[in-house]
Chain A
Amino acid sequence: MPIKKLISTGNSCLEDREDITSAPLWHIGKVAVLESQESFNLLQNTIDYLTCKGKSSRTFTDNEKEFMKELFEALWWGGKYHGFDEAAKLANHYVNGKGKILTINSEVYSKSAIVSDAMLAMKGYISELHSNKKPFVELKTNNPHFLRSVHVKQLKRGSRNVNRQGYILNNGALLVEQSNQRLKNADHRFYLGVNTKKTSGGFVSRWKVESLYDFEHFSKGHITDIPLAKGFVLKLPDGLSQYLTDISVAKVFTYTSQWQENWK
């Protein structure tokens, strides 16, 4: 790239723009319904401009902050519309939740292939601990004894198809099966914990997942592709989503989910 063009690109956000739209939702709708190239360009150019400002750690105007907030709220509408309720709820909570803990529907976890198989493996391990009169009340998938046990073998890479089944990583985190869009867009990898009590008829277990909702810095170079209509894919840098926490538009938060199971 010629030096002049490099300098021009580097300086592209030095001058404040006044045409920041305060209604990204309106333009997203226009792209989604009418395939409006003009609205798409306006959205992408604004994201690119704000990315440039974020990379130079510049503050955003009120209009620019509102644009980003509404963009995440628009993701809520889009997520709901496509049936990804949890991912939608998380995106909205990022800009409206003030950092408070959020509880999400446990079904998104309990119906996952890797979670179901991890629950089976953990129950086998708990039964073994109980038979050997060892403590079994609290267990998490990153427990080193559990990870070395025979029960984990069926969860490990190699014996599993990552698209249909997911697998357990070396540190005990569960990697979601890639075909499960609903879960992977809400929580891609996480530890599964369980609190178990012995009852007269067997065991009662309270399963729990707790994760942190945050985005990577610009340095990682990650970009999220958001398709609005066929041929119109909005590119949102994760670094820009992260930068929103630096300028108080968004807050990192913990989200959690719990469910109970009686078993023998």
Chain B
Amino acid sequence: MINMKIKFLFFYVLISSLFIGCAEEVDCFVADSVAKVRAVSVNNKTYYVYLRTSGFSEKEHFYELYKNEPKFDDCGKSNSRPISEAHIDTTRGNMSKLIIKDSQIKVIYSKDTPQIVNYKNVQIDAK
């Protein structure tokens, strides 16, 4: 317990010095990790599909569709809003593919296909 208190004091002093203005602070505890899946062309328009993974001990995954290629900060926040997003809901079955239609992104599930191991390697049908 004394050891914990010493550590706390140490860290408190260390972090308090942030307010004096040394390093630039980030405002999240753990970050969403965001990875580009690929750019997809639909009717001569290019859309950008990203995979967002959020949570700490329990992860959830989301696909996001952007009109323009976004930039993300260290917490996973994008500089523009996605025009559509879709949660990978594993209680609905195994994901078989993604569909992009009318600027919307949709996850298609199937009970017959095996679960995709890497969500970045998903098949995307653009209509």
Q: Which residues of A contact B (CB under 8 A)?
A: 25-26, 29, 31-35, 73-75, 77-79, 81-82, 84, 87-88, 90-91, 157, 162-163, 169-171, 173, 175, 178, 181, 184-189, 213-216, 221-233, 238, 241
Contact = CB atoms under 8 A, between A and B. Distances in A.
B22 A185 contact: no
A82 B74 contact: no
Contacts of B11: 25, 29, 74, 77
A171 B92 CA distance: 9
Given A33-B18, A225-B31, 18 more contacts: A25-B7, A35-B23, A35-B24, A82-B28, A169-B89, A170-B91, A175-B60, A185-B55, A188-B55, A221-B117, A224-B30, A224-B33, A227-B30, A229-B24, A230-B23, A230-B26, A230-B74, A233-B31
Interface in B17-35: 17-18, 22-33
Given A225-B33, A229-B26, A170 B87 contact: no
A77 B53 contact: no
Interface residues of B, number: 40
Contact of A157 (B31, B56, B89): B89
Chain A facing B: main interface SS: mixed
A219 to B, nearest CB: 9
A193 B37 CA distance: 38
